[in-house]
């Protein structure tokens, strides 16, 4: 921060709309983390169910080829939507948490930046689709998807400038409930339209417009909390763009990383292959709400207390790391046993080609969960440049492996490329985490490996005896192994009990 920017931040600190939270004790810090994470998990779980319903409706009503076009359109627009994102979300939350700037002016200037970048995104996407030789009907689809940057919360574009105050003050339940409203409305509207055999263009228009009510409510609630000031401040705009740039570059690379498999599949194997692959990815990607639920609670705490109370922050980090890892492991095991049943039940046998990619992707989610968690954690302590290194390595490794694996193995090859590259990114990010935080993982890794191995063996045994009973046995077996092998120590277990009693009064003695 320049001297003039620093002076401005100090002068306006007293005008902040955000209360400061004292860090008094480790249990209170971690209980607050747990309570906010529980709220985030519940909201995002409902959102996941609604998202899954939307995916099933689209896949079944459109068929593999048209669903492939829908998915390809999303990926195409996302290549340009990263410009509207520009990595500003964590920077806004961080600065609001630290009170370096007066909140109304910070957020007002963020809105101005987002409006400009969103307009640029829409224009570039439409022009690129037109000159790429796509049919006029598909250009219309691209135009509608591009306008989504003005209203959706999924692309971290304009709407994030109105959601940031709630994230910074650990009131993430508000934007998450509004995101849930978006998805429930989309589910109902798309279901009705699917019954009427609506065209792809009509479904895309409805998909976009269902985000408008949530956007309007977000703006209304945010402006009740913060007095947005829309007078341009060149020094503040430069600061936001400068701080966001490393994260923006990271997002640019990660967008290419997440898009390159679909682009290669469309070029080499066609739209039907993209539809099959998208059926798997649209089940896997929404599961990132799990690390997101932890990150949105941890991020403001890390930003405030990394220097003043590193021991408390390290405790919260180690606990969150265990939780995220174990959930990812449990999901990978479950999808390995029931992946075929899930695909057939949700999409029908037409999407049989999505089964193997789904299972491979779920094992890759162990790395994706942790990478997602590590990226925002490093950003909270001003180490976002490490994210760029990890993202660049993942993109290069993924591109190289896909060129070899897709022609040889098809859809499973694309999923395998993601698994390999995400593992390499994990190695880079984890090394940075260990440098900046006091992380203890040796004992945990051994216990987690034992939990995963014994759980898989137990489920294989139950599947032979009684397949239906194994569904009930799976969570019981996993939790029992976690408790028996003492994956969480006594202090961590005490935190869990306290958080549950605080969040759910019914459990109080």
- Among 140-154, 225-239, 430-444, which stretch is predicted with the lowest mean pLDDT? 430-444
Examine the pLDDT at 367 and tell me if it is beyond 90: yes
What is residue 486's predicted lDDT score, i.e. its pLDDT?
93
- Tens-place pLDDT, residues 94-112: 888 776 668 999 999 999 9
Residue 149 CB neighbour total at 10 angstroms: 29
Which element (helix H / strand E) includes 206?
helix 200-209
270-316: pLDDT as tens digits: 989 999 999 999 999 888 877 876 766 666 666 565 666 677 777 87
Span 190-208, average pLDDT: 95
18 confidence band (pLDDT: 50, 70, 90): very low
What is the CB neighbour count within 10 angstroms for residue 194?
17
Instruction: Show Cβ contacts of residue 283 under 8 Å, excluding neighbours closer than 6 positions.
Output: 52, 55, 342, 346, 358
- Is the per-residue pLDDT at 411 higher than 70? yes
How remote is the C-alpha of 317 from its chain's centroid? 18
Q: For 165-184, how does the pLDDT look when each residue is reduced to its tens digit (9 = 90+)?
A: 988 887 777 888 899 899 99
Give 403-445 as a DSSP string.
HHHHHHHSHHHHHHHHHHHHHHHHHHHHHHHHHHS----HHHH
Give me the mean pLDDT over the 318-332 stretch.
91
pLDDT tens readout for residues 144-158 = 999 999 999 888 899
Q: Please enumerate in sequence order all residues whose Cβ is within 8 A of that of 450, keeping only pairs 6 or more positions apart, or say none.
A: 481, 485
- For the chain, give the percent of residues with pLDDT over 90: 58
Please state, as a whole number, how many other Cβ atoms lie within 10 Å of the Cβ of residue 112: 18
Q: Quick one: pLDDT band at residue 23, thresholds 50, 70, 90?
A: very low
Band the pLDDT of 8: cuts 50, 70, 90.
very low
Reading the block at residue 366, the tokens are: 């162990």
pLDDT in tens, 475-498: 999 999 999 999 998 888 887 777
The pLDDT value recorded for residue 135 is 87
Site of tokens 């923006």 = 248
What pLDDT score was predicted for residue 301? 61
Q: What was the pLDDT predicted at 501?
A: 64
CA distances from 102 to 96, 108, 110, 121, 280 (A): 8, 10, 12, 28, 44
pLDDT exceeds 60 at position 507: no
pLDDT the model gives residue 385: 80
SS3 letters across 12-77: HHHHCCCCCCCCCCHHHHHHHHHHHHHHHHHHHHHHHHHHHHHHHHHHHHHHHHHHHHHHHHHHHH
Q: If you average pLDDT over every residue of the chain, what do you get?
A: 85
Q: Which two tokens stand for residue 47?
A: 């959102």
Task: Say if residue 368's pLDDT is above 50.
Answer: yes
Domain boundaries, the chain: 62-232
Closest-CA residue to 301 (of 9, 31, 11): 31
Q: Given this model, what pLDDT does residue 10 score?
A: 42
Distances in whole angstroms, Cα of residue 500 to Cα of each of 29, 35, 36, 44, 327: 14, 8, 11, 18, 18
Q: Torsion angle, CA of 288/293/297/303, rounded to 10 degrees?
A: 0
Is the pLDDT higher at 413 or at 504?
Answer: 413
Confidence class for position 40, pLDDT limits 50, 70, 90: low
Q: Are 300 and 32 in contact (CB under 8 A)?
A: no
- Classify residue 196 as exposed, middle or buried by CB count within 10 Å of its CB (0-12, 13-18, 19+): exposed
CA dihedral 215, 220, 224, 229 (to 10 degrees): 70
- Class of residue 191 by CB neighbours under 10 A (exposed 0-12, middle 13-18, buried 19+): middle
């Amino acid at each position: 921060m320049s001297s003039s920017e620093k002076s401005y931040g100090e002068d306006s600190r007293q005008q902040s709309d955000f209360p400061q939270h004292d860090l008094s004790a480790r249990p209170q810090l971690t209980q607050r983390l747990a309570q906010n994470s529980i709220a985030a998990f519940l909201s995002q779980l409902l959102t996941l169910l609604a998202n899954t319903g939307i995916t099933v409706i689209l896949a079944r009503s459109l068929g593999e080829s048209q669903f492939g076009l829908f998915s390809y359109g999303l990926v195409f627009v996302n290549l340009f939507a990263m410009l509207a994102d520009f990595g500003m979300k964590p920077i806004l939350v961080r600065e609001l948490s630290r009170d370096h700037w007066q909140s109304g002016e910070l957020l007002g200037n963020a809105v101005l930046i987002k409006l400009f970048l969103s307009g640029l995104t829409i224009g570039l996407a439409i022009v690129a689709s037109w000159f790429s030789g796509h049919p006029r009907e598909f250009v219309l689809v691209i135009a509608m998807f591009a306008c989504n940057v003005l209203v959706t919360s999924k692309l971290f574009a304009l709407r994030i400038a109105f959601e940031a105050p709630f994230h910074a003050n650990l009131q993430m339940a508000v934007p998450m409930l509004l995101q849930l409203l978006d998805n429930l409305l989309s589910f109902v509207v798309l279901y009705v339209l699917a019954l009427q055999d609506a065209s792809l263009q009509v479904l895309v228009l409805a998909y976009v417009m269902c985000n408008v009510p949530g956007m309007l409510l977000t703006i209304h609630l945010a402006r009740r909390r913060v007095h947005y000031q829309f007078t341009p401040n060149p020094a503040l705009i430069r600061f936001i763009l400068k701080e966001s740039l490393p994260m923006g570059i990271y997002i640019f690379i990660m967008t290419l990383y997440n898009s390159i498999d679909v682009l290669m599949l469309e070029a080499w194997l066609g739209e039907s292959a993209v539809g099959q692959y998208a059926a798997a990815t649209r089940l896997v990607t929404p599961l990132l709400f799990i690390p997101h639920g932890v990150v949105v609670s941890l991020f403001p705490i890390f930003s405030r207390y990394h220097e003043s109370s590193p021991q408390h922050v390290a405790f919260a980090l180690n606990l969150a790391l265990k939780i995220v890892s174990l959930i990812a492991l449990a999901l990978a095991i479950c999808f390995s046993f029931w992946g075929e049943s899930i695909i057939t039940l949700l999409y029908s046998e037409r999407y049989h080609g999505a089964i193997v990619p789904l299972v491979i992707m779920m094992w890759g989610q162990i790395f994706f969960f942790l990478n997602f968690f590590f990226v925002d954690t490093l950003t909270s302590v001003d180490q976002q440049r490490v994210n760029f290194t990890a993202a660049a390595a993942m993109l290069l490794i993924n591109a190289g492996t896909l060129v070899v694996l897709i022609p040889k193995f098809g859809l499973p090859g694309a999923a395998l490329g993601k698994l390999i590259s995400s593992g390499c990114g994990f190695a880079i990010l984890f090394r940075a985490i260990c440098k900046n935080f006091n992380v203890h993982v040796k004992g945990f890794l051994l216990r987690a490996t034992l939990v995963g191995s014994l759980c898989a063996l137990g489920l294989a045994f139950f599947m032979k005896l009684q397949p239906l009973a194994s569904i009930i046995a799976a969570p019981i077996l996993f939790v029992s192994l976690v408790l028996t092998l003492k994956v969480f120590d006594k202090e961590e277990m005490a935190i869990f009990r306290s958080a549950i009693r605080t969040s759910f009064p019914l459990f109080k003695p």
